[in-house]
Each structure stands twice: as structure tokens, then as C-alpha cells.
Amino acid sequence: QRAPGKVLLDAVCNHLNLVEGDYFGLEFPDHKKITVWLDLLKPIVKQIRRPKHVVVKFVVKFFPPDHTQLQEELTRYLFALQVKQDLAQGRLTCNDSSAALLISHIVQSEIGDFDEALDREHLAKNKYIPQQDALEDKIVEFHHNHIGQTPAESDFQLLEIARRLEMYGIRLHPAKDREGTKINLAVANTGILVFQGFTKINAFNWAKVRKLSFKRKRFLIKLRPDANSAYQDTLEFLMASRDFCKSFWKICVEHHAFFRLFEEPKPKPKPVLFSRGSSFRFSGRTQKQVLDYVKEGGHKKVQFERKHSKIHSVRSLASQPTELNSEVPEQSQQSASLTFGEGAESPGGQSCQQGKEPKVSPGEPGSRPSPAPRSPAGNKEVDAAASAPTEEEEEVVKDRTQQSKPQPPQPSTGSLTGSPHLSELSVNSQGGVAPAHVTLSPNLSPDTKQTSPLISPLLNDQACPRTDDEDEGRRKRFPTDKAYFIAKEVSTTERTYLKDLEVITSWFQSTVSKEDAMPETLKSLIFPNFEPLHKFHTNFLKEVEQRLALWEGRSNAQIRDYQRIGDVMLKNIQGMKHLAAHLWKHSEALEALENGIKSSRRLENFCRDFELQKVCYLPLNTFLLRPLHRLMHYKQVLERLCKHHPPSHADFRDCRAALAEITEMVAQLHGTMIKMENFQKLHELKKDLIGIDNLVVPGREFIRLGSLSKLSGKGLQQRMFFLFNDVLLYTSRGLTASNQFKVHGQLPLYGMTIEESEDEWGVPHCLTLRGQRQSIIVAASSRSEMEKWVEDIQMAIDLAEKSSSPAPEFLASSPPDNKSPDEATAADQESEDDLSASRTSLERQAPHRGNTMVHVCWHRNTSVSMVDFSIAVENQLSGNLLRKFKNSNGWQKLWVVFTNFCLFFYKSHQDNHPLASLPLLGYSLTIPSESENIHKDYVFKLHFKSHVYYFRAESEYTFERWMEVIRSATSSASRAHVLSHKESLVY
């Protein structure tokens, strides 16, 4: 009784195993019979005077604009129960067709597939809505269309329909306006609404509201001044009593804080002498904090089991192979366990203990959840390290057996705002494909045991042997000269380069020969220019490894003359000059391939399917540029050797001569390389976007992409922004099976101005972008992110001002945005609401890479620039590392490849495809402190929020090199770096 209300709400949520309890509240009638919410900060005894005579109800308090923001199936189930209750009580009014459709989904969830006699019997016993008898035929007709739909899918569809209704989540509060007309006030995620009866007649978005207050019975809304508005500055409404007025004011304050603020507001300091006004404030996590919490995976996933007393038989997943998105918690998930070698991770939730059934609302028939702790349940060969994973190890990227043809994902299931899972079909940065026997729920059911490409992989003992000090002695016998480790870097990166060449010369070529999807002219342009390179570099690698063997003393006695690498480099770089004609052809091959894809749907589908193979761990067109990138790596290695050796050293002359040769080649290809990197990046972005056709045009340059929050009538909505030298696009995560981003708007940069507006809007790191046709307000996730965007947008505006075409055309397929800011906001809201129903070009709804840099930036809430991509091209590294998790014992030996801002993990360098990947954007790179008890040399630490990993290098040189390249991915380049970087590229 003396505890604050929050203790009781937390106890209820813990009892239900409810992670997203912040959307819910406890409601009860006070001593004046006014229904109020339990204040989470006040002691319960001060609110509920006679607890034995008061019924406290657990109900939904905050209805988000998009139900796909609810990550847990249990949360969606409770929302579905709330909709069902609101229908029965007449609170959720709608037309007959909508009501019948809603009830048909409820019936499907409760009794299963259509059976007319059973349906009519069930409807006779259960009244879901007043005057239900008149709708019975329609309900039965609609139910017939839901055959095969699982309870989880029924909940999802129920919420999809309900959220579009005007009265969804609305609670009316009677009032009168200044003229004495009877009206109803309500509050929603968008702001304050005014109803006459059940018809909405007015709305005041949060962006327009400056202050909310009450004075006795009067409820006051103070608006921001607007020259175009006919409203007075302050609106006044009269309510039944002071208590009723204060209760509504509190609800408004809480809704505003929950949907608009980034974090819980801090308490006001207590006045010294006397208080003035209410000290009430919102308590608890905001919606953003809830989404971030689930995104981080900071909770243990707990499945719940539905008890369907009316369902006579449970449908088998095996009998419904097409239901990729189905989710029936009672069914065994044994088929979904994914293994490395012979070890397997516990699928979890296969045996469910029945707990107490939460009473969500009185008299609810149908399904009830009960908590279900994880247990291996029959999986006897679970690896010890995997059966009890730490928090960091639970969310992993795993290798999955892949079939040759990808299974098409099911239709739209939600845009998982805040989900940590880039794509359940993703194995690496291109995304693998789920085998037919693995049941996955990529978007509909994020509460099942999922894997996240954002988190480092858990590789068990079968996959990678653990090692502590068994090779310590062997490493000590190796040479300690820095030149040796530089030479060894040439060897390790050359292995990866050869594997990348084989993606084209072996895998892609053999796939092309099997399926005649590519014209002969294109084949003759690509493959004959790659095969000589592969042959040459195979021999080059042999020579480097033979020299290293001599240097280490593995072939002969340790002869001093062999402790150098410059002569091998010089000989082979001179040999590469004869291959220059092939190198010049790579840019032509890249352009020809992209043009062929553009003109041939068959070739487009073929290349897309090849990209989904695990061996193609990067975008396909990236492999075509690998030979140009490799020249830059040779140049860097030789620069380090020349810097290390004194002029008197025997290897200095050869290293300097080789450096001169390679510098000349790089200088000749430099212009082509910059042009092709931009061309490749534009085509890669085009695959991630829906709603544009002419993204790749001559003269367009990509500058930056990243996640920003856009301020609209619905509050702050996460959007992906794409900045080019002529236009700024903003997009949302599309509710499409292809996992792409839908373009919502575009702002030409010519004539645009940018200004900081934190003070004006009260939102941290806020900017106002004023274009000639439209203005938008955006907020960055941090001060540094805001500064990067300001710098790049201002630079792009300056470039646009200097360009010869002051009014660039809008990108095709996107509607012209020539509306006023208010109209633009309304249109933006409408398009967001219609997003899940929209289907732009069905032929493009194909499996799509789920872990591209765009998706990483979306989930890490960060951005990356073209300069960052260019620097990433130079910072590539391969080699063996020992890895350790925060709470684990022992170290795992892995072959690690760093490229494209990402660590790719292999069992050995001979593997054809990575087991897992870890994108590093957003991670911090540090050295372990004394308190972490690592006690090993050459260890660096990677951490992102609660995820911590340690890596050990074999020497001081390799440790510094890993730190150098990883730091380039974990900290974005500034504009100052851009200028110095561009200068350094001029040879």
C-alpha cells in the first residue's frame, strides 16, 4: 500500500512476462467515481482509499501510430484483447463491413479455420459487438477467407484494420466549447482531438501546441503563433469538474511525453517556500526508450503459450509449407534449430510451463498467455557454450544451410521500427536465404528466438577450436621484425583477394554457364579480364608464402638474405604492368553489367539470386572493383616498408622501386576509381529504395546516408535520409517483403537553407531545412551526428548553387512535392498510414539483402558518408584473431576479414563463405582496463551498448593495424578529413 504505483504496474508486467509494459496502465474509479489512471509516482495508499472495494483494470494506455512498433507477440495479443473489449463496449465504432472483418479475425484466432456450423454456434454463444446478429452472415463470409491463418497472424491483421479506424485507441471526455456546444475531447499519439459525437471535427498536433494547462473546470490549449491560422492563441474548453479536467490534463501530459520525448523528463526541483501549480510529471520510459531497449536486446525473450480451448487440433507447420510467417507457440521449434558443425543452439521455448493466466479484462473468452521459460527439451547434443549463452551471445548471426532458389517472403508484415534484427533471412551483408524446413518470422513475430546481424556471432567449439596458450610458444619462435609482419599482411590479404576474385571467375562464371541469362558480349567483357588476374595472383601468393616460410625458418636454415619482401613485390608489380589492359576494362565491365541488368529483367533476377548466395558476401558489383582496390593496398604496404627500413637496408632499394611502379599505376587509374566507386554506390542504393527510377544519372554524386527523426503531426518518426549533390531524399522502412525503403519526399538543394532549431521545437539536435517548395524539421541522434549532417548538407547546398542547373528535375516515380509545409505534413501522414497497403511494382517484391549499410545505419541510428566508404576501401585487413566474449572463458581462433565496415568470421582462410558477420558502425574501440582481468598482450575491445567482445592479435604490429582499420569504421570522417583525404589521393 505504501509503495508507489510503479511497483504495482511492474509486478503485473513481471507476472505476465511482458517486456513492453510501458504501453499499458492501471485504471480504477476514484472516490468520486471518476475513472483515473494510477499515478506511478504517488503511493498507492494515497490513491486507492478502499482497496477491497476497488477493481483495478490492466488496459492499454498508449496506442502507437503503427502496431508494427510492438515487437513482442504477447504485446500484440494484449492489444488485440483491448480492441476486442472496445468493440464489445461500443467504444470502437466503425461501419458494418469493418466490424464484421474485425470479428472474423477474432473468431479465426479463437476457434481456428472456417467451419460454418461451428462458426454460427460460436457466434451464438459469444457477443463481440452490439447488434451482432445482423452481421453474422458477413462475419462467416469473411472468416472463410482466413483459412491457414495462425493466431499470431490474426492478431496482426486485427490491429492492421483497427489502427485505420478513426476511433482506434480513442477515449472521449465530455466538454463544452466557448459557445456552450457539447463536444468530446480526446488525446492520441498525434495530439489533442475534438469530436462532435463520434465525428472528429478538429485536431491540434503536438507541433502546434505550446502549452497545456487547466484552471478549475477550464482546460486551456495555448497554440504556437501562426499567421495563416484562424485560431486564437489560446483555446478554452469547459469540463464537468475540476477533478475531471485535471485527470484529462494529466493524460495529455503523459501522451505528449511518451510519444514526443526521447527520455523520461527529470523531476522539477521542490520549491523552498510554497508550490504553485501541479507537480505532476510523466514517469516511465518513453516510446523511443522502449524501442531502443527492445532493439538492444536487453531482455530475455520469453515465449508464451496460447491455451485455445475451442481449437480442436493444432495445424502442423509441415503441412503448411507456404506459411513462412506463421507462428504457433505450442508447436515444437525443433526444425528451426540451426547448427555449426555438430553443435546446436537450444531453440528455446519447446516445453512451456503453465503459469497463472493474466486476467486482462473480465470475461475474456479465448486465448490466454502463460509464461514459457526456455529449455532445451529434447535437444541432447546442445553445446555447453551454446546452451547457456550470455546476454551478448544470445543474439547472433548464424550460418544457415542455403537452398539454390530463395523462398519468396510472405506479404507485408511490418516495419519493425526499432527492431535489432536487420533481416531474419540475413546471414551476411548480402543476406542468406532460409531453407524450407526452417520456420522464420522476419517481421511479424520478432519475439521468437532470433539472430541479429548487428551482434557478433556465437561460434561453438565444433566450429572454432578454443585456444588459450597452446600456440604461445610457437608464436614466440616467429621473427619479431616489423618487416616480417608487414610481409605477412601481404600474404593474409592476398588470400582474401584471391577468394574475392574466385567469386567472379569461379562461382559467378559457373552459375552463368548453367543458366543462360547473360549475353555473350557481357560474358566476354567480364570473365576474360578476370581469369588472367586470378592466375597471376595465385602465383604471386605462392611466392610470398615461400618467402615467409624461409623467413620463419620452416623451409631451410634461417638465411638472412631471405628476410625481405621488396624483391618479390618489385618483380610482381612489374609483371602486373602487363595486366594493365585488363584493369582498365573493369570499369567498362561494371557499367556494362549494370546496363544489362537495367535492360533485362531476367539478368536482374539472376544477379539478385546470385547475390543471395552465401559466397557473395558483398554486393556483386563490389567484386568487379576489387582489382582496382588491391593496387591501393600494395601502395600502402610498400609505403610502410619504405618508412620502416633505413636507406642502408638491403630491402630498401627494391621497396622504393616497387613503390614508384605501383604509385604510377594507381595515379593512372585514380580518376576511374573515384568515378566507379560513386557509380557502384548509386546502383547499390538503388536496390535499397522503392519509388525512384532515375537515381543513377550523369553528374549525380552520393554524399551521405543515415537515420534522422522527422518531426510530423505524429511526432518524431524515424526516417532514412539520402543526400546527393542535387537533392535530399527521405524514406521510411517499407512494409514490403523486399525489405526496401520507400521514398516519402525529396527536397532539391538549390535555394535550400539550414538552421539549428533546438530552442524553437524543444527537441535535442534539431534542424530546420527550408526548401523552395517544402520545409521539414529533423533531429539527429547526437550532437556529432547533427554536425556531420549540417556540414555535408551545407556543402551540398553550396555545390548546388554553383551548378549550371538551378532547378533539377524530381526523381521519377515520386510525386512532386509542391505543397505548403502543413499540406506536406498531412500528405506525409497519409502516406505513412497507407504504407502497409501499398504495393509499388509487385515484380520487385523479391527476396532482398537484409544487412546492407542502409539497414545497419537504420538500426544503429547513425550515418555514413561517401568519404567514409572511400576510406573503407583503403582499410581492409585479413588474418587470424583470437576472440572472447565478455562473460566467457577461453579464446576462439577465427579467420577474420575486415571490409566494408564489417568483420566477417571464418573457421579458416580456406572457407568459401563467412560463418557470420559483425557490422561495426556505432561500436566503440578501446583497450581493456585493468578491472576487466584480461591479462593478455595485444588485446582490443569492441563494445556497443551491452555487447562487449575482446580480440587478441599475434604481435604489436598486427594489433596496431587492426586498431587502425577498425577505428576507420567506428568513427566517421569529418569534412576536414575529407579535404586532406582527397589531397592524399592526388599522386
Per-residue pLDDT reduced to its tens digit, 385-420: 233 333 333 233 333 333 333 333 333 333 333 333
Residue 639 host element (H or E):
helix 626-644
Q: Is 650:468 a contact under the CB 8 Å cutoff?
A: no
Torsion of the alpha carbons at 737, 738, 744 and 750, rounded to the nearest 10: 180
Q: How far apart are CA 302 and CA 447, in angstroms?
A: 8
pLDDT of residue 739: 74
- pLDDT-derived band at 363 (thresholds 50, 70, 90) equals very low
Mean pLDDT of 522-527: 90
d(CA 18, CA 302): 9
172-266 and 691-804+850-867 have identical folds: yes
* Alpha-carbon gap, residue 135 to 100, rounded angstroms: 6
pLDDT of residue 73 exceeding 50, the answer is yes
CA 973/CA 921 separation, integer angstroms: 12
* In the predicted structure, residue 843 carries a pLDDT above the cut 90: no
Q: Predicted confidence band at 279 (pLDDT cuts at 50, 70, 90)?
A: low
On the CB side of 590, CA atoms within 13 Å amount to 28
Alpha carbons 114 and 194: distance in angstroms, whole number? 41
pLDDT at 688 over 60: yes
Distances, alpha carbon 373 to alpha carbons 17, 281, 301, 308, 367, in Å: 10, 36, 9, 19, 19
Supply the DSSP string of 208-244, one letter for each residue. GEEEEEEETTEEEEEEPP-TT--S-SEEEEE-S-HHH
Contacts of 334 (CB under 8 A, 6+ apart): 347, 350, 378, 379
Dist CA 847 CA 431 (whole Å): 9
**Closest by alpha carbon to 353, among 373, 383, 324?**
373
pLDDT over 70, % of the chain: 71
Average pLDDT in the 714-722 region?
Answer: 87
**Pairing between strand 775-779 and 702-712?**
antiparallel
- Residue 873 neighbours by CB under 8 Å, 6+ apart: 629, 632, 677
Predicted local confidence at residue 65, as pLDDT: 85
Residue with cell 549494370: 594
CATH 1.10.3660.10 fits 691-804+850-867, yes or no: no
> Which residue, 515, 502, 537, is CA-closest to 623?
502
* 379-408: burial string, b at 16+ Cβ within 10 Å, e else: beebbebbbebebbbbbbbbbbebeeebbe
Query: Which residues, 6 or more positions from 660, have their beta carbon under 8 angstroms from its beta carbon?
Result: none
| Res. 560 pLDDT band, cuts 50 70 90 | low
Residue 716 pLDDT class (50, 70, 90 cuts)? confident
> What would the CATH number be for the domain defined by 482-687?
1.20.900.10
H-assigned helices in 395-519: 472-477, 482-502, 509-514
The answer to whether 543 and 550 are in contact (CB under 8 A) is: no
Tell me: the pLDDT tens digits for 960-976?
999 999 998 876 544 43
Q: How far apart are CA 477 and CA 423, in angstroms?
A: 45
Query: In whole angstroms, what is the distance from residue 391 CA to residue 615 CA?
Result: 29
Angle between helices 601-611 and 580-599 (to 10 degrees): 120
Answer yes or no: are the C-beta atoms of 78 and 60 closer than 8 Å.
yes
Report pLDDT for 57.
92
User: Chain-centre distance of CA 894, in angstroms?
Assistant: 26
Report whether 438 contacts 338 (CB < 8 A): yes
**Residue 577: DSSP 8-state:** G
Min mean pLDDT across 69-83, 147-161, 355-369, 693-707 is at: 355-369
What integer pLDDT is reported at residue 289 of this predicted model?
Answer: 87
For residues 210-223, average pLDDT? 90
CB proximity list for 312: less than 8 A, separation 6 or greater: 112
Extract the C-alpha cell encoding 616.
557473395
In whole angstroms, how far apart are CA 859 and each of 296, 377, 585, 718, 788?
Answer: 10, 33, 37, 10, 18
Dihedral angle at the C-alpha atoms of 858, 864, 865, 871, nearest 10 degrees? Answer: -140
Residue 516 confidence (pLDDT) above 70: yes
Of 828, 732, 769, the C-alpha closest to 205 is: 828
* 3-state class (DSSP) for residue 543: helix
pLDDT score for 812: 52
Number of H helices, E strands in the chain: 27, 31
Domain ranges of the chain: 5-163, 172-266, 482-687, 691-804+850-867, 876-968
The pLDDT assigned to 277 comes to 55
**CA separation for the pair 692, 815 (Å, rounded):** 10
Cβ atoms of 901 and 854 within 8 Å: the answer is no
What's the topology of domain 172-266? PH-domain like (2.30.29)
Q: Which residue has the higher pLDDT, 284 or 26?
A: 26
pLDDT at residue 353 tops 70: no
Helix (H) or strand (E) holding 793: helix 783-802
DSSP state at residue 755: E
Q: Which of 235-249, 351-365, 809-823, 848-862 has the highest mean pLDDT?
A: 235-249
Decide: 612 and 426 in contact? Cβ < 8 Å.
no
**Residues contacting residue 770 through CB under 8 Å, at least 6 positions apart:** 752, 753, 754, 755
Give the ranges where 22-168 is alpha helix by DSSP (H).
Answer: 73-88, 96-111, 116-125, 136-143, 151-162
Instruction: Look at the block and give the residue holding cell 558443425.
Output: 341
Cell numbers that stand for 492 in this block: 593474409
The three three-digit cell numbers of residue 459, written as one number: 561460434
* The pLDDT value given to residue 276: 53
Fold of the 876-968 domain: PH-domain like (2.30.29)
* Dihedral class, residue 539 (left if φ above 0, else alpha if ψ from -120 to 50, else beta): alpha
Long-range contacts, stretch 497-502, CB < 8 angstroms, 24+ apart: 497/537, 497/626, 497/630, 497/633, 498/534, 498/537, 498/538, 498/541, 499/909, 499/912, 500/623, 500/626, 501/530, 501/533, 501/534, 501/537, 501/623, 501/626, 501/627, 502/534, 502/912
Handedness of CA 728, 986, 662, 492 (dihedral sign): negative
Q: Quote the mean pLDDT of the chain.
A: 75
Question: Which residue from 317, 333, 172 is spatially nearest to 244, judged by alpha carbons?
Answer: 172
For the record, the C-alpha cell of 677 comes out as 566507386
State the pLDDT at residue 228: 56
What angle separates helix 783-802 from helix 975-984, to the nearest 10 degrees?
Answer: 60
Bridge partner residues of 724 (DSSP): 702
- Selected residue with higher pLDDT from 572 and 351: 572
Cα–Cα distance, 740 to 734 (Å, whole number): 6
Report CA torsion sign: 957, 961, 967, 972.
positive
Q: What is the dihedral of CA 684, 690, 693, 695, to 10 degrees?
A: -40
- What distance lies between CA 619 and its chain's CA centroid? 18
- The model's pTM is 0.58
pLDDT category at 865 given cuts 50, 70, 90 is very high
Which pLDDT belongs to residue 551? Answer: 86
- CATH class, range 5-163: mainly alpha
- Assess whether pLDDT exceeds 70 at residue 310: no
What count of other Cβ atoms lies within 10 Å of the Cβ of residue 789? 24
Q: Is 898 helix (H, G, I), strand (E, B) or coil?
A: strand
What's the pLDDT at 66? 85
Report whether pLDDT(446) > 60. Answer: no
pLDDT band for 3, please (50, 70, 90 cuts). Answer: confident
Least confident of 324-333, 368-377, 635-644, 822-831: 324-333
- The larger pLDDT score, comparing residue 797 to residue 281, is at 797
864 pLDDT band, cuts 50/70/90, is: very high
Determine the 3-state secondary structure of 126 from DSSP.
Answer: coil
